[in-house]
Amino acid sequence: MDTAQILVTLAGTGLVVFVVWYFFFGKRETKAAMLTASGVQEISVLVKGSYTPEIIEVVKNKPVRLKFYRDETSSCSEELVFGEFNLRRELPAFETTVIDITPTKIGTFEFTCGMNMLRGKLVVR
Amino acid sequence: MNADQSDPVISTVTLDISGMSCASCAAMVEDALATTPGVQKASVNLASEKATVSFAPKQVNVEMLKTSVESAGYGASEIKHDGNRAAQAEATETRKLAEYNALKRRFAIAALLAAVIMPLSMTMLFPSVEHFFHQTIGMQALNYILLVLTLPVLLYSGREYYVSAYNTFLHRAANMDTLIAVGTGAAFVYSVVATVVPALFEQHGMKAEVYFDTTATIIALVLLGKVLETRAKGQTSAAIKKLIGLQAKTARILVHGQEQEIPIESVVVGNIVVVRPGEKIATDGEITEGSSSVDESMLTGESLPIEKTQGSSVFGGTVNKTGRFTFRATKVGSDTALAQIVRLVEEAQGSKAPIQRLADKISGIFVPAVVVISILTFVAWFNLMPADVRLPFALVNFVAVLIIACPCALGLATPTAIMVGTGKGAEHGILIRNAESLEKAHQISAILLDKTGTITKGEPTVTDFVILGELALRGKTIQLAASLESNSEHPLAAAIVNCGTREGVQLLPVSHFMAVEGKGATGVVDGKRIAIGNTKLIADENIILTQEALQTAERLIANARTAMFVAIEGQIQAVIAVADVVRGTSREAVAALQARGIEVVMLTGDNQKTAEHIASEVGIKRVFADVLPQDKANAVKQLQAEGKIVAMVGDGINDAPALAQADVGIAIGAGTDVAMEAASITLMRSDLRDVVKAIDLSRRTMANIKQNLFFAFVYNVLGIPLAAGLFYPFTDWLLSPMIAAAAMAMSSVSVLTNALRLKTIKL
């Protein structure tokens, strides 16, 4: 092994460790939906490369309004799938798409992009 | 309510306001809105970032309200709920078309430039051309030309991939764009270094090769794949678009006797709507005047037009054929049958099939995993190859791995087939509640059919009208019997009246009518005393029951019929047999189910003998007789205990618990009352053959999903090692990143094309 090979091997190993740590063990942003005067738990979600916040906390049996604003044109985020609520919605770019649901059971429900690569969670307490 | 009242003088709209950071911002937006001419009231909620505005639509519109907010320095967009679905769908279509055209433009630029870059990069294949460039401008200058040509491909055509990859990376996520951006980005950066400082390579004994052609071609091919994918994806939702498109845009209503055309959103319950021949019916309602035949095939799949008279229900989206009529609107907007069907199909298309779980798990870790494999590929080849070629060799394989990997094919495999399958079902009046139901239906091994209303028509019908008296005239006897029974409310009486209607007799007035509970009815028609009933009534009336009449009745009863005697002026003239007749299509459907290896079992409250008679008529071998309505669910449990996957087919009236207990609950003959909560599959027509169609659809869709998943898995499982050069030591096989790009683009398109095949299957 020459110097270049040693450097490439070390850098490669470092990168692999970084990729695994960065994508699988990072901290995710959590935010609770805010209860409005009309009794709706409301939260705005920014769709840009991912969902911000990624984890949304709500309480059971109260209507939830999720306002997804898609701030990009990348086709990866053009669809939103919420399997638990039988929802598949298109999110037009640079527009707010309102999704109204009422979770009736406690649990963690995933929402994803159409191809299941971008993920967010709705935590119902 | 008339149109004048329904025409809103004041409209209310809710706007999403962006850019507000404090209470004074909210006050400014409120002020901007309130001072806009035509605005009656505006209230802004800072916490929810919303403005609710009441305004006079004649003076100001939503666009003007948005402009007011924007001129105050904030952003505004309208929050849209269930309004006019057809208009929304149209707007979506327009937007998608614009996006598609932009995508085509980006592809055209990339393809055009790649077509120039490619031959310029291949001069080494033609020594004389290479010599010419060496002699004239030099190779480095040629590389600069290639760099300049590649820049627009990256910055215009492929820009979205880099922006998206960056945004995604910031959020610790990765997607398809990440792979394309890293792959092409690495090839581009390498080439730029080789162009600007070739000495860096040459001093290490390497040739300063550039890969601008790879970069440009990959982006062009990926965009080509995207163009094809977008086109095909549009077709997967064609069925739902067709359903939404059925909605009428306007309605002609009667206001003080005058016809007035108004937008469909303005129609309210109670409006009287006028429908001319050939017109689309605007909303759901009940005919108040006139009659016609209506084509309801678009909703129910029933190809024959349905006769409609005063009092009949009509449904929005169906087409009036022959007559002119008026109807009273009973349901509007999201309450109509069409809106419910659209909602049901949309929900089914949004649901996830259990079979998708594995693909979901894989796609969740797919991109980072591929990035790891590509890094390992680079390191491995850098260590294994000779010093003069190891860097380009490692780079090419690194890029090939990133580009060939296609998580999209995995992601598209199941949902696209579900979308096409559920849409296909809706076209045939088969509404599938969710993907799980569709998946379960292909495993059905036993099917439990509720007799009444499912195998049979569910309403008593006169099957035999046996005339006994020699001098009796058949027509006259039917007329007298039907006339008497028209005064009775008993279901058997309705059968006799229907028989009279079928025979075309005119009903006569009845006097001295008397219904005798549990026995029959008596009365005077046309001056004659008539008695219709069982042996008890005949005995009460002191009428002699002849041997011939008795034998006829016994023969009919033996055939699972209910027999009634008709006496005219104290003499028995006829025996009427009434039965709940088997639908014409039931036998064929049972045979078709059995041919698919499914055990067909009948369920009924009738006694064993009657039940077996009906069962044998349609070819069913196993029967659950004497089952009380509340015990139907237990019959389902019994079959499930035998290890069977059970489908229960019922009309949904008193079998909801059984439908819910079954693995697949199928409600039959829902007509346009589609909100059948307990059923996993709702059939709009009362035709058992649709059960066969639903099962066939499920089997075909599942087969399609399995093909798609198999293809997507195998493609990646073989493609990635091939691109990594795993086979190179044994076979000399290496994959050019450009070929990898072509394969990747085609893999998603293949999955979509396969899913679209479901549209053409014959049910």
The answer to whether A92 contacts chain B (CB < 8 Å) is yes
- Residue indicated by tokens 């893999």: B747
Q: What are phi and psi of B441, to 5 degrees?
A: -60, -25
Q: Is the pLDDT of residue A68 over 90?
A: yes
User: CA B100, B101, B106, B110 torsion: positive or negative?
Assistant: positive
Amino acid at B177: D
Interchain proximity B167–A49, CB inside 8 Å:
yes
Produce one character per residue of B728-762: b if its CB has 16 or more CB atoms within 10 Å, e if not: beeeeebbebbbbbbbbbbbbbbbbebbbebeeee
The answer to whether A30 contacts chain B (CB < 8 Å) is no
The answer to whether B363 contacts chain A (CB < 8 Å) is yes
pLDDT of residue B80: 52
What pTM was estimated for this model as a whole? 0.79
pLDDT of residue A11: 96
The answer to whether B349 contacts chain A (CB < 8 Å) is yes
Q: DSSP readout, B418-434? A: HHHHHHHHHHTTEEE--
Residues 35-54 of B with CB under 8 A from A: 45, 47-49
Residue B388 in contact with residue B205, Cβ under 8 Å?
yes
pLDDT of residue B652: 66
Q: Which residue has the higher pLDDT, B7 or B583?
A: B583
Interface probe for B, chosen from A65, A88, A91 (most Cβ of B below 10 Å), is A88
Interchain proximity A8–B382, CB inside 8 Å:
yes
Residue length, chain A?
Answer: 125
Question: Could you tell me the CA-to-CA distances from B743 to A125, B436, B735, B737 in Å, in that order?
Answer: 46, 32, 10, 10
Classified as helix, coil or strand, B626 is coil
The answer to whether B16 contacts chain A (CB < 8 Å) is yes
Residue B485 in contact with residue B532, Cβ under 8 Å?
yes
- Could you give the strand order of the β-sheet that contains B258-263, starting from the edge strand earlier in sequence? B258-263, B250-255, B272-275, B325-331, B284-290, B313-314
- Could you give the strand order of the β-sheet that contains B11-18, starting from the edge strand earlier in sequence? B39-45, B50-55, B11-18, B75-78
**What digits encode the pLDDT tens for the residues B85-105?**
777 778 888 888 888 999 999
Specify the range with the lowest mean pLDDT, choosing from B383-387, B404-408, B508-512. B404-408
Residue B377 in contact with residue B186, Cβ under 8 Å?
no
**What digits encode the pLDDT tens for the residues B331-378?**
988 888 898 888 888 888 888 888 988 888 888 889 999 999 999 999
The answer to whether B581 contacts chain A (CB < 8 Å) is no
Residue of A nearest to B390 (CA): A5
> How sure is the predictor about B290, in pLDDT bands with cuts at 50, 70 and 90?
very high
Cis peptide before A53 (omega within 30 of 0): yes
Chain A: closest CA distance from residue B138 (Å): 30
**What digits encode the pLDDT tens for the residues B27-60?**
788 888 988 888 887 877 766 577 878 788 778 8
The answer to whether B203 contacts chain A (CB < 8 Å) is no
Classified as helix, coil or strand, B142 is helix
Interface probe for B, chosen from A35, A117, A118 (most Cβ of B below 10 Å), is A117
Compute the C-alpha angle A15/A16/A22, nearest 5°.
85
Chain A CB contacts of B410 below 8 Å: 115
Interchain proximity A115–B408, CB inside 8 Å:
yes
Please tell me the distance from the alpha carbon of residue B473 to that of residue B480, in angstroms, as a whole number: 11
Interchain proximity A23–B378, CB inside 8 Å:
no
Amino acid at A105: K
pLDDT of residue B131: 83
Q: Is the pLDDT of residue B13 over 80?
A: no
**What digits encode the pLDDT tens for the residues B55-88?**
887 788 888 888 888 888 787 877 554 456 777 7
Would you please indicate which residues of B are annotated as catalytic (active-site) residues?
A: 450
**What digits encode the pLDDT tens for the residues B635-647?**
999 999 999 999 9
Report percent pLDDT > 70 for chain A: 100
Residue of A nearest to B345 (CA): A86
pLDDT of residue B7: 39
Q: DSSP readout, B532-548? A: EE-HHHHHHTT----HH
Q: Is the pLDDT of residue B12 over 80?
A: no
How high is the ipTM of this complex? 0.85
Q: Which residue has the higher pLDDT, B412 or B83?
A: B412
Interchain proximity B365–A24, CB inside 8 Å:
yes
Residue B218 in contact with residue B184, Cβ under 8 Å?
yes
**What digits encode the pLDDT tens for the residues B222-240?**
999 999 988 888 888 888 8
Q: For residue B198, give the DSSP letter.
A: T
Please tell me the distance from the alpha carbon of residue B313 to that of residue B334, in angstroms, as a whole number: 17
Q: Which two tokens stand for residue A10?
A: 């070390």
Interchain proximity B226–A24, CB inside 8 Å:
no
Q: What is the 3-state secondary structure (H, E, C) of B642-662?
A: CCCCEEEEECCCCCHHHHHHC
> How sure is the predictor about B21, in pLDDT bands with cuts at 50, 70 and 90?
low
> Across the interface, which of B79, B365, B367 has its CB nearest the CB of A98?
B79
Specify the range with the lowest mean pLDDT, choosing from B67-71, B393-397, B415-419. B67-71
pLDDT of residue B2: 37
The answer to whether B357 contacts chain A (CB < 8 Å) is no
Q: Is the pLDDT of residue B5 over 50?
A: no
Q: For residue B725, is it left (φ>0), alpha (ψ between -120 and 50) or beta?
A: left
Specify the range with the lowest mean pLDDT, choosing from B471-475, B688-692, B729-733. B471-475
Q: What is the 3-state secondary structure (H, E, C) of B275-314?
A: ECCCCECCCEEEEEEECEEEECHHHHCCCCCEEECCCCEE
Residue B685 in contact with residue B302, Cβ under 8 Å?
yes
